[in-house]
Amino acid sequence: MKRNLLLLVVFFALGFAACAQRSSDDNGGEAAASTETAEEFVARMNTELAGHYREAGAAGWVYSTYITEDTALLQSRANARYAEWHTRMVEESMRYDGQDLPAETRRALDLLKLNTSAPAPDDADKRNELAELGTSMEGAYGAGEYCDAGGNCRGGQELENFMTSSRDPDALLDAWQGWRTIAIPMRNDYARFVELANEGARGLGYADLGEMWRSSYDLTPAEFEADTLRLWNEMKPLYDELHCHVRAELGEYYGEDVVPQDGPIPAHLLGNMWAQSWSFLYDIMEPYDGVAELDVTSTLESRNYSPEEMVRSAESFYVSLGMPRLPDTFWERSMFTKPADRDVVCHASAWGLDGGNDLRIKMCIRQNYDELRVIYHELGHNYYQGAYRDQPAIFQDGANGGFHEAIGDTVVLSMTPGYLAEVGLIGEAEQSEEAVINRQMQMALGIVPALPWTKLVDEWRWGVFNGETTPDNYNDAWWDLRLNYQGVAPAVERGTEDFDPGAKYHIPANVSYTRYFIARVLQFQFHRALCDAAGHEGPLHECSVYGSEEAGERFWAMLEAGSSEPWPNTLEKLTGTRQMDATAIVDYFQPLMGYLREQNEGRSCGW
Ligand code: X8Z
Ligand code: ZN
């Protein structure tokens, strides 16, 4: 029977993996007496859960910072042990179905059920198989390498770097195609992974894993789907104008034979492996040449900022809001750079180990502005994890997954030219209408292409999980969505044996992705509310809350609550509304929208 699913939140791969990770001691899962009250059950559950976080967190950290057969075994074992516990506890919790319980107890039970991104079948062999598949796909992604015809071998991060800097279409296409070869061997494993996780989801009462994921937003799955579509339609006009302009400029740059003006943009020419951020095209797109010096990268290079200095810069922002300094262990235990002698998962993540007392990030930091923003993003996770550490383990999470992803990105919106100049990352902040447009273009190239992209990734998975998209159709369905939403297409034929979705971290690592779409909306809502709290007057895009303890206090109050309340309550406390709302992002980019419309006049847009 499907119970009250109204009070749900986020979860990470097998409880802890991926972008915001937690961890703490298990008492071995002693069988509870059936006379246990719901409150007693929840108290025991929280203690045992903290134990699993500790164990799986330690195993996960060692695995992703040192990928070997041995660490793979340890991670798989820890995750399988968690999965066994999870299935058993959800079953035990059913004793309390239909009982009239305090809201907090009911919420804890509802969240328990959702506290995994890959529920396991109730069978030891299948459970182990699922855990091993998850571990091996993540490792294969982390250790993936492509050797080109000249025998030059590059890992994921080197290929990503190349995509941001090269302007040679043939070399870009080779790197783009090359990285996708690492995913081909994952296709069958992924299909089996889906089969097993779906069986686990059905055991918990969901139709499939996609329905379970969509249930983690305090809405029915259908309401959530409708809400995301509504938000996308509100933001789409902005994307369409940007797409039209970027295609025209790329057509001039590369020639219209390379970038035809009546169709999708070739996916390898957007300065990013997945065309999800177009920031690295700024020099081509700069609206007013040389107006407003916004080049943070050149400052990082000329002053030779170390990775640690880049992280210190982000920490200082949070501290300026009245938040605490990061603990010493953060600086001792984090991974800031790619080790030379071993395989690691370079994809950035933030870890809240030991119940939020042991915070860390794991990144392979590069010296550029985009990376600096990723650091601010990751510290948003860490500050959230630190803020909710006094909550019981089951509430040590974001109000929903989108909240977790939105914290650091809210702070990024405060990295205005005024702020950057104040902390010495650019020269003087120039004040003119042209400077505003340049700055808006720079922001939009990073944020706006993420809107369709973050919408489509899980739409693909929803189709895979519900069986509409079968393995033979994986790649075609993927490119249909990329064409429809993003207006991008591969420049070379893709075949059934290809598994292009697997070349994006969150697919092999099984991290749900709609969280980033929600975050794109929430970051602007949060920013608007914090700017109000800071007493900002004037356009939203000029606001930085740097140094505002009033804003910091409001922010912290939200962070401290973790997932203890349904997110609409949490949202209302900060913003005064219970709805996700795209008006803040649309307002923010109003000046750029005017510029783009002017530029696109007379062009034929669309694909
Ligand atoms: O995965 C991330 C973060 C870690 S949570 C680096 N992001 C998504 C991505 O890289 O695809 C942030 C933006 C979207
Ligand atoms: Zn994140």
Alpha-carbon distance 537 to 544, whole Å?
Answer: 11
pLDDT for 430 equals 85
Active-site residue 118, yes or no? no
Any bridge partners for residue 349, and if so which?
362
Both structure tokens of 407: 């914290």
Counting ligands in written order, which one lies closest to the CA of residue 13? Answer: 1
**Bridge partners, residue 153, by sequence:** 147
User: Could you read off the pLDDT of 300-317 as tens digits, one per residue?
Assistant: 999 999 999 999 999 999
| Residue that has been written with the tokens 């030379």 in this structure | 340
Give Cα 587 distance to the centre of its chain. 24
Residue nearest (by alpha carbon) to ligand 1 atom 8:
516
Mutate to test the pocket of ligand 1, among 64, 347, 366, 456 (most ligand atoms within 8 A of CB): 347
Give backbone dihedrals phi and psi of 361, rounded to 5 degrees, phi first.
-120, 155
411 Cα–ligand 2 center, Å:
13
Residue ranges per structural domain of the chain: 19-140+187-205
Q: CA–CA separation, 288 vs 599, rounded Å?
A: 13
Nearest ligand to the C-alpha atom of residue 404? 2
381 counts as catalytic? yes
Q: Which two tokens stand for residue 201?
A: 């989801």
Catalytic residue (choose from 206, 217, 376, 516): 516
**Closest-CA residue to 65 (of 330, 331, 341):** 341
Instruction: Tell me the β-bridge partners of 147.
Output: 153
CA–CA separation, 148 vs 181, rounded Å?
11
Contact assessment for residue 15 and residue 89, using Cβ atoms and an 8 Å cutoff = no
Q: Which atom of ligand 1 is nearest to the CA of 374?
A: 6
Specify whether 288 is catalytic. no
Pocket of ligand 1 (CB under 6 A): 19, 348-349, 374, 377, 516
* Cα–Cα distance for residue pair 11/511, rounded to 1 Å: 9
Rg of the chain, C-alpha, whole Å: 23
The reported pLDDT for the residue numbered 33 is 54
Q: Rounded distance, CA 62 to CA 67, Å? A: 8
Q: What is the chain's length?
A: 607
Ligand 2 midpoint to CA 20 (Å): 6
Q: How many CB atoms lie within 10 A of CB 194?
A: 23
Q: Which ligand 1 atom sits closest to the C-alpha of 504?
A: 11
- Backbone phi, psi, residue 341, to 5°: -110, 10
Q: How far apart, in whole angstroms, are the C-alpha atoms of residue 9 and residue 110?
A: 9
Q: Which of 86, 243, 347, 541 is catalytic?
A: 347
The values of phi and psi at residue 352, to 5°, are -115, 75
**Nearest by Cα to 392 from 85, 43, 112, 27:** 43
Report which DSSP code applies to 428. P
350 alpha carbon – ligand 1 mean position (Å):
11
Give the closest ligand to the alpha carbon of residue 454. 1
Told to judge if 377 belongs to the known catalytic residues of this protein, a careful annotator would answer yes
527 is catalytic: no
Residue 379 token pair: 């510290």
All residues at 6 or more sequence positions from 299 whose CB lies less than 8 Å from its CB, including other chains: 305, 424, 425, 426
Instruction: Work out the angle at residue 449's Cα, subtended by the Cα atoms of residues 445 and 455, and round it to the nearest 5 degrees.
Output: 155
Ligand nearest to the CA of 279: 1
- Could you say which of 52, 268, 404, 506 is catalytic? 506
H helices of 102-180, where?
103-114, 124-143, 156-165, 169-180
In whole angstroms, give the CA distance from residue 111 to residue 386.
20
Residue nearest to ligand 1 atom 5, measured at CA: 19
Q: Which residues of the chain have pLDDT under 70?
A: 1-33
Considering only the C-alpha atoms of the chain, give the largest distance between any 2 of them, rounded to a whole number of Å.
75
Provide the pLDDT for residue 469: 98
370 Cα–ligand 1 center, Å: 12
Catalytic residue among 129, 371, 405, 459: 405
Give the other-Cβ count within 10 Å of 495's Cβ. 9
User: CA 204, CA 255: separation in Å to the nearest integer?
Assistant: 54
The bridge status of strand 358-362 relative to strand 349-353 is: antiparallel
Q: Which residues pair with 94 in a beta bridge?
A: none
One DSSP character per residue, 35-49 reads: T--HHHHHHHHHHHH
Distances (CA, A) of 557 to 181, 365, 553, 554, 573: 46, 30, 6, 5, 9
Mapping DSSP to helix (H, G, I), strand (E, B) and coil, where does residue 267 land? helix
Find out whether 15 and 86 touch, Cβ atoms under 8 Å.
yes
531-568 CB burial, b ≥16 within 10 A, e <16: bbbbebeeebbebbbbbbeebbebbbebbebbbbbbbb
| Residue 317: partners with Cβ closer than 8 Å, 6 or more residues away | 376, 411, 414, 546
